[in-house]
Amino acid sequence: MTHAFPAPRHSHPDRPGFGPAPAHHAELEELLDLDALFGAPVLAQAMDEASHAMITEPRTIVDLGAGTGTGTVALAHRFPGARIHSIDASVGMLDRLREAARDAGVAANVEAHLADLDDDWIADLPDGIDLAWAALSLHHVGDPARLLRQVFDALRPGGALVVIEMTGETTYEPADLDTERSRLGERVVNTLAERGYPVVADWTRALESAGFAPIARSEATLTASTDTPDGARYLGLQLGFNRTLLGDGLEPDDLEAVDDAITRLRAGRATISAASGRAIWVAVRPVVAE
């Protein structure tokens, strides 16, 4: 099935939270591109850990819920001998991904697949995948346990799955978001958390249940600041999405201050930095002795 952006699914006790479909796709795509820039150290750490977990360099990689190609391009640079199959259910995302792969000079190694991870996505892929990559995407699917079993079966023994999610820990400097409202950033983060944002998922048990072993979990931090125009744009977009999610969940004076911070970020007149935690799982399909 093809759709612009998969809608959020209903809650399930075995599946920790999930976010809404953002209203503005162009802004989401821009945000994902900027994530690529500021999240590069996080991806580098995840790729280092995956490299250590695998016995040989990957030749066949699958990027699950590949979005605008952040992970795909990083993987193509890191593993130039690999063919990367990038899967997403959004036509718009895959268009951006192809463009990103062309711009990065790695298009020859990248194959984009329009497919729903809750459907028969595996049919088009080769056997014996070496590395599967699911960054900020596993919580979007309707049945993650099923998807993890499918990934386990599709990996060669000794192959690895990398899952990346947010930890939910975000801190701002200054804590008042460069407003006169003391600790405003904390109240924004706490109110969003009460509403289930960002999605904070712990996949360790689900990975164990699918048969993966060993499973390693580590953490990394994405930082961005208004020191650069890209940083200011990134923080402005982030806070803009957060503002939509906050609704009327803060006191009017706080909401006004958040609006003011967004306006000043967009005008390049705010001085703010943010640090946001990421959790990285590297899960290996065990090599079973004959």
Ligand X SMILES: C[S@@+](CC[C@H](N)C(=O)[O-])C[C@H]1O[C@@H](n2cnc3c(N)ncnc32)[C@H](O)[C@@H]1O
Interface with ligand X (CB under 6 A): 5-6, 32, 35, 65-67, 70-71, 87-90, 93, 116-118, 135-137, 140-141
- The nearest distance, CB 171 to ligand X, in angstroms, is 21
Rounded Cα distance between 290 and 288, Å, is 6
- The nearest distance, CB 63 to ligand X, in angstroms, is 7
Give Cβ neighbours of residue 85 (< 8 Å, ≥ 6 apart). Answer: 60, 61, 62, 63, 111, 113, 124, 125, 126
Nearer to ligand X, 62 or 136 (CB): 136
Distance of CA 13 to the CA centre of its chain: 22
- The nearest distance, CB 66 to ligand X, in angstroms, is 5
Q: Which amino acid is at 58?
A: P
Cis, peptide link before residue 286, omega less than 30° from 0 = no
Nearer to ligand X, 73 or 250 (CB): 73
- The nearest distance, CB 133 to ligand X, in angstroms, is 8
Nearer to ligand X, 89 or 129 (CB): 89
Nearer to ligand X, 124 or 253 (CB): 124
Rounded Cα distance between 283 and 132, Å, is 10
Q: Which amino acid is at 13?
A: P
Rounded Cα distance between 188 and 213, Å, is 38
Rounded Cα distance between 136 and 67, Å, is 9
- The nearest distance, CB 36 to ligand X, in angstroms, is 7
Nearer to ligand X, 35 or 130 (CB): 35
- The nearest distance, CB 255 to ligand X, in angstroms, is 26
Q: Which residue is nearest to ligand X (CB)?
A: 67
Nearer to ligand X, 244 or 263 (CB): 244
- The nearest distance, CB 288 to ligand X, in angstroms, is 30
Give the ranges where the chain is alpha helix by DSSP (H): 25-38, 40-53, 70-78, 91-103, 144-154, 184-194, 204-210, 229-246, 252-266
- The nearest distance, CB 65 to ligand X, in angstroms, is 3
Burial class (CB in 10 A: 0-12, 13-18, 19+), 88: buried
Return the beta strands (E) in 125-190 as ranges.
Answer: 129-135, 155-173
Nearer to ligand X, 58 or 69 (CB): 69
Nearer to ligand X, 67 or 179 (CB): 67
SS3 of residue 135 by DSSP: strand
Rounded Cα distance between 263 and 236, Å, is 8
